[in-house]
Amino acid sequence: MFACIFIPDFSVQTIIRFEPELRACPVAVLTGRPPLKKVMALNERARQTGVEVGATKSQLEAWENLVLRTRSESQETSAHAALLDCAQSFSPEVEDTSPGTVLLNLAGLETLLGPLPKIAHDLAQRVSQLGLEANLAVAANPDAALLAARGFSGVTLIPAGREAERLGDLPVEVLLESFSSDVEEGARWVETFDRWGIRKLRALAALPELPVSERLGQQGLRLQRLARGAASRNLRVLEPRLIFAESVELEYPIVLLEPLAFLLNRMLEQVCARLRQRALAVQELHLNLEFATTRPDGCASFARTLTQTFTRTLPLPTPMLDAKVFLKLLQLDLQAHPPGAPIAKIHLSADPARPRVLQSGLFQPIFPEPEKLELTLARITGIVGEGRVGSVELLDTHREGAFAVRHFAPAEPEVKHEVKPSGKRKKDMFVPENDRVCELEEEKPEENAKENAQEKMSAVIALRLFRPPLGATVTLREAKPVRMRCREREDIAGEIVWTAGPWRSSGDWSEQEGWSREEWDIAVPAKSSCQLPVPSCQSDKRERTMELILYRLVQDKLSGNWFVEGTYD
């Protein structure tokens, strides 16, 4: 059995797909260059008002409520691609018949997806989720299914052997619209059949074959076989292409971010729906905005060509499938990087990937949800600025302070399951910290445990950096700093009571950014404490009250300038 999905008034429906509020309005789609724009497609409501295909734009001024839209080939391409995705999510054998028409082979799917009526209804429902109203027909051969889909609205099931009976009520025009590629030739066939008094397919099917062959030739015989629903052919199977993209061409350029967000929301929902049908997720989002070529004020004297396109790529650390998250990420990204010109066309595409599969463990440490984390990072970037949030990566160099800030994407902890023959608890499992320490001490020899504990439980002196380093004036005595004063901060100054150094280092001498420096570790009494070192003969009480601050003092050997780089804390 074969199924056919046919979207009536495809050009109109592709527009209504992105503007659902037009569903209740009479809509006409125009094509051609102004002022010769003509109606090429209408929806049913527009037809009821008396509008006809081929009417010019000036003729349509009589209809006040009629909504006019220009044909958008990019939207039609997106809608058709969505239709193909939908069909391919049901069957591997899909034929791309024409824009808005798709045929698929349902043979063997009953065992997987249920009886044919259920498959047909599921298929129709899935298409309606794409924002398209489809006619769907199931028949024993592809051409009969195509005819039924074009002729009957809704879902139609034709049992095998009853094709001629069901298709007999259809007018001859449906047959010629479906299978005649040339419009003029189709009109000639209709005229011929009309002269013979044949208006329904039943009448055409009832004609004897030999006279039809004599008068109309092989083409006439083919049309008669199609009218009987007896034609048989194989599907031209489409190779599945994993391209998930949506495009919108705008009637008027968008200037504000808010309407752009509305459109992006619709496009993202469509892309996510298509990916969901294929059980895929998004690994990377690409947003391509095409600008209007002239300024929107329309003043020719000020018209000038602007940058044509604006592209933003949103890489995601893990595959996700949440349209709301994507929309918020794009909004935040566009707020940080505004396009800079009115937008005339939007193209959104997604790189598919297999969705993340996660099996949480009972003893696994808590972990932020990737979607939520990504959104949080984007918001924080909006607050503190680009490149000021992320994880640090130390660079492989001796240059001081060389690091890079990477996008924060922590790897989820893995729970290792090692079964030990001794029957003891698994060592590598995540256990509460206290238990873990105790266990380690139990299992290891005492000496090793002590050494490890001592090694692990020792904090490391940290350095607090001044960014940028503070310039300082240093007094030297016998090539050693004895007094320093920071030019930018008055509180960092005083006699140096202890010095260690210098520790000399240099590097990148062959490069343009070569460096050479001398580091000193110095101790300076805090401003709040005693100003001078306390003699040892004085009371211990006064000695304890003296607070020293340890600084790292650096001299740039290339420039000779002194800097206070940080505080040991």
Partner 1 sequence: MGRPFILSAKKTAELLAQVGAIPKLAAVVPASRLDMRPAPEMVSSGIPQLDSLTGGIARGCLTEICGTASSGRTSVLLFALARATQRGEVCALVDASDAFDPASAAAAGMEMSRLLWVRCGEKYPSRKHPSAALTGCEKTDDSYQGMPSGIPQVAENGFGFSRCGSTRWKNPEGQRWESQLGQMLKVTDLLLQSNGFGMIALDLGDVPVPSARRIPLASWFRFRRAVEHTPTALLVLEQQPIAGSCSSVLVKVSGVRSQVSGKKLAALSSQFSANRLAHTELLDQFEIRAELIRSRLERKPVQSAASFSSRAAWAG
The whole-angstrom separation of Cα 517 and Cα 399 is 10
The yes or no reply on residue 417 touching partner 1 (CB under 8 A) is no
Cβ proximity to partner 1, 179 vs 408, nearer residue: 408
CB closer to partner 1 out of 19 and 400: 400
CB of 566 to partner 1, least distance (A): 7
Rounded-to-integer distance, Cα 407 and Cα 390, Å = 5
Strands 155-157 and 135-139: parallel
Query: Should residue 466 be labelled a site residue for partner 1 when binding is judged by CB under 8 A?
Result: yes
| Residue 335 within binding range of partner 1, rule CB under 8 A | yes
3-class SS at 371? helix
501-540 residues near partner 1, rule: CB under 8 A: 501-502, 520-521, 523, 526, 533-536
User: Alpha-carbon distance 53 to 29, whole Å?
Assistant: 9
Considering only residues 476-495, where is the footprint of partner 1 by CB under 8 A? 477-478, 480
18 and 59 in contact (C-beta within 8 Å)?
no
The one among 339, 352, 469, 494 contacting partner 1 by CB under 8 A: 339
* Three-class SS state of 441: helix
Residue 179 binds partner 1, judged by CB under 8 A = no
463 binds partner 1 (CB under 8 A): yes
Question: Residues 439-458 vs partner 1: string with x where CB under 8 A?
Answer: --------------x--xxx
**Spatial distance between the Cα atoms of 96 and 102, rounded to a whole number of angstroms:** 5
The least CB distance from residue 359 to partner 1, in Å, is: 15
Q: Which stretch binds partner 1 (CB under 8 A): 113-121, 204-212, 416-424, 461-469?
A: 461-469
Binder among 162, 215, 354, 388 for partner 1 (CB under 8 A): 388
Q: How many chain residues touch partner 1 (CB under 8 A)?
A: 96
By CB under 8 A, tell whether 207 contacts partner 1.
Answer: no
CA distance 525 to 483: 11
CA distances from 148 to 11, 90, 560 (A): 20, 20, 89
CA atoms of 175 and 228, how far apart (whole Å)? 11
340 scored as a contact of partner 1 (CB under 8 A) = yes
Which member of 142, 186, 229, 342 binds partner 1 (CB under 8 A)?
342
Residue 292, both tokens: 């209007």
Among 462, 471, 487, 508, binds partner 1 (CB under 8 A): 462
Asked if residue 464 binds partner 1 (CB under 8 A), the reply is yes
**Considering the rule CB under 8 A, would residue 408 count as an interface residue with partner 1?**
yes
Q: Taking CB under 8 A as the rule, does residue 287 contact partner 1?
A: no
Which secondary-structure segment (H or E) carries 372?
helix 370-384
Q: How far apart are CA 373 and CA 553, in angstroms?
A: 39
Distance from C-alpha of 356 to C-alpha of 377, rounded to nearest angstrom = 20
Range 247-266, binding partner 1 (CB under 8 A) = 254-258, 260-261
CA atoms of 226 and 245, how far apart (whole Å) = 36
Binding status of residue 382 toward partner 1 by CB under 8 A: yes
* Distance separating alpha carbons of residues 82 and 132, to the nearest angstrom: 10
Give the number of other Cβ atoms within 10 Å of residue 10's Cβ: 21
Q: Between residues 142 and 339, which has the closer beta carbon with respect to partner 1? A: 339
Q: Which of 159, 315, 410, 514 binds partner 1 (CB under 8 A)?
A: 410
